[in-house]
Structure 1
Amino acid sequence: MKHVSLTLAASLAFTAGTAFADVTVDVLSINRDSTPWLGLYTDAVASFEAANPGVKVNLQFMEDEAFKQKLPTLLQSDAAPDMFFSWSGGVFYEQAEQGFLRALDDATVAEWKQDLSAGGMAALSHNGKYYGAPEASQNVAIWYNKDHAAALGIDPTSIKTYDDLLGAVETAKAGGVTPFVVGGQDKWPLHFFYSLIAMRIMGQEGMAASAAGENGGFNNEDWLRAGQEYMRLIELEPFQPGFMGVKYDGATGLWGDGAALFHLMGDWDLGASRGAASNGGLSDDQLGVIPFPMIEGGKGAITDTLGGASGFVLTKDAPDEAIDFLKYFMGVDVQKAAASGGVYIPTVPSAGGLVEDVILKQFAAIGGASTYHQLFLDQFFGSELGGAINDVSAQMATGDITPEAAAELLEETRAFQ
C-alpha cells in the first residue's frame, strides 16, 4: 500500500505538549479504508500521535449508506464518536440544531481561518457557530473510458447536449459495451442523474424556488420534466445487469475493471475505483472527464456544478484533544500531502497548486469554472426530503414510480418535514 509521506513539520508544534493524559479520540469516517485514502489517513494519525504523547486516535470506517443510517442512533448513544465525516448541508444543520455537535470557540475559529479555507469552514457553520473543519471540495462529472470510446468511435468531448449523451448510450449498447455502471442499491449514485438533469432544466433560481416551496415546490413542470428526461435514459437500459443489487463499492470496482463506457461520479472515485478494482484500476491515460451536458430549453448552465464541501465535525462531548486532531487532520500539511499524492482536491488555499494528477486537475478546473455549485441534494435538503430524492431516483430507475408521482411525493415530503 502506498502511503503519502507526512512529516512532523513545525506546524505540528502547536499540538505538542497540549495533551499528555491518556485520551482516545474516536473518529468515524465514510468508506475510505482503501488506497490512497487509507495511506494518507494512517500517516496523519501516526504523525499526530507521535507529536502528542498519551493521545490515541481510533479511526473507524463505515460504508456510506450504513454511515447515514447508523449515525443518528450513534449520536444519541454513549457510543458516539468524538468527530465524524460530514457532507455539510441540511443534515448537518439538523445535527447542530439537535445539540449533537460541539461548537468551536471564537479564538479557535479566528486562528483556523488564517490557514484553512474560510468558505469551507462556512459550509460547516450554522447560525453563527462553527462545528468543524473542511477537507475537500467535490464535483460530480461524467468519467469516460478512452479505450471503449475509441473502439466505439465516440468522442465524449463532443457531447454537449443530453440528446448527444443518449446517442452515445445507444451506440455503446449497439457495440456491446455497458454505457454506465451504477451502484443502484445505495440509491444516492442514481440521484446524481436526477439531480443534474433537474439543475440543467431549472438552473439556480429554479432550484432555490423549489427549496422555498415556490411555484409548486417540487410539484411543477420543471421537476416533472426532470423525471421525464431521466426516464428517457432509463428506458435505454443504460446500466449493468442487476444494477439495483450492486452497492457503490461494487460499481466503482466494475468501473475500475473497465466494465463500462461512462461513470457518473465525483472526483473521489479516482482513488476509490483503483482500490476496489481487481487489477489496480484504469490509468490516467485511459480516463477522461466531461461535465454533464445541457438539456434543450434548460435554464441552467454547463458550468453549474453538483458536489460537496465535506470535512469533519466535533460531537458535543468531544475532548479538547479532538479539536487538536481535527485541526491537524484537516490542516495544511495533510491537505498538501493529499494534493501532491492525488488523493483529493484540497480546500486549503496553499495546497491547491500542488494537485498534480491530470484527472484531479480536470475536476479542479470544473470546480474553478463553476458559476453555481449545488450541494448534493440528499444532503442539502435534509434527511427526510434528501432521502426521498434518493428513493424516487431509485424507484424511477426500476419503473416503480412515475415522474408525476415522484414530483408529488417530493413536494409532500418538503411540505411536511
Structure 2
Amino acid sequence: MLTALNTSPTARLPALDVARLRQDFPILQRAVHGQPLVYLDNAATSQKPWSVIEAERHYYAHYNANIHRGVHQMSQEATEAYEAARDRVRDFIHASSREEIIFTRGTTESINLVASSFGQRLQAGDEILITEMEHHSNIVPWQLLCQRSGALLRVAPIDDAGQLCVEQFAKLLGPRTRLVALSHMSNALGSINPVKKLVNLAHQVGAVVLLDGAQAVAHLPVNVMDIDCDFYAFSGHKLYGPTGIGVLYARRAILDSMPPYQGGGDMIREVRFAGSSWNDLPYKFEAGTPNIAGGIGLGAALDYVGGVGLAAIAAHESELLRYATALAGEFPGLTQIGTAADKGAILSFTLAGIHPHDIGTILDSCGVAVRTGHHCAMPVMEHFGVPATVRASFALYNTRHEIDTLFQGLTKAREMFG
C-alpha cells in the first residue's frame, strides 16, 4: 500500500462535505453518454466553481476596461481587482512581496520567460540540470536554451517507483551548474519531490532553482520562502481557476537583474528612438494587455481553495488515493506506473492486453473522463517501457463512488478485450 500525501498533521481534520462542495461546480451536474459525469482528469485541468465563473462574468458585465493606464472609473475598478488578485497570489504562496509575482499565460510561458530572459547569462559549457520525470514544458525550453548558448543539459534519473534518485541528482551538481529545473509534483506519476532538500543542494554549488509547481499548488501548501526556491511557476486552470492565466514567482533581486521577456505596452517607462527604459516590477515582464478576467478569476479561485482549506483538501485526496491504490492492487492485469512513497492524488496504470486509448474510450462511454497517452512526459514512458498510460487524477470534489465507477469501467474493458 502506498503512503500517499504526507497528511499526518491533517489526519484529524473533519471530512470535507463533498456533496455540498460538488454543488459549487455546475459542470459536475451534467451527463456524458447518458451517464453521470465522473471527472478524473484533474491533472490536465480542474473544473471551476461558480465563484470563479461569476468573477469573470461580473468583470465583463460591470467594469470591463483596460488596466493601469485609464483614469476613468471602470479602468480604476478593473485595475484594483486585477492587482488584488496579485496580492492573493503573493499570500497564497507566501512570497515576500507583490513585485515578485508575474502574471503569465501559464506554467509553460513562465518557464519560457525564465529560459529566454535569465537564460541570456548562460554560456558554452555551463550546465542545466533537470530530472527524468519532467513535463515537456520543463524540458524543451532548456533544450532550446542549450542550442542558443552552448550550455549542456544534464538529466537526473528516477527509479522504478518513479522517485527521483537524490544521490545521483547531487552527484550531477557541480561548479558549472547554473540552473536546476524540476517539478514539485510529477504530472505523469504523482511523485512529490523533496524540493526543500534539492534546492539546498543546488544552492550549495551556486545554482538557481526553478520549480514547476503546476501540479502541486492545488494539492499541497506552498511556501516559496521556506522552500527557498528562486523561481516557482504554476497555472490557474489546474487550481480551479481560468485557463490562460499563470504565475511566475521570482526573487526580486533576480528579476531586477533580468532583461525584459517581451517588449510593448505597460512594460516600458519611456520610449525614445534612441532607446527605451523599463517599468518597475512586476510590470517590466508583463507586456501588452493581460488576461484581466483570468487574473480576477484566479483570485476568486484562490479565495475558494482558501475557504475549503488546502490541508483538508490534501487529506481528502490522500484518502481517495489510498482507496484507489488498494483497488488497483487487486485488479487483475493492472500495473501501476509510479509507486513513490510520497505522491499526490494521481493513479497511472496500464491494463494487460488493452491499449490505454481503448481503455479511455470505454471509460468515456461509462461517463468517466480520464487522460490517456504519454501525458507530455515521453521520457517517463520510455523509462517504464510503455507507450502510454491511463491516468486518473483526483480533486476535492471526487468521491469513493466515482472511483468505484472507474473500476467498473475497467472491468467492462477487460471483459470486452478478454
Fold in common (TM above 0.5): no
Q: Tell me the TM-score normalized by structure 2.
A: 0.29
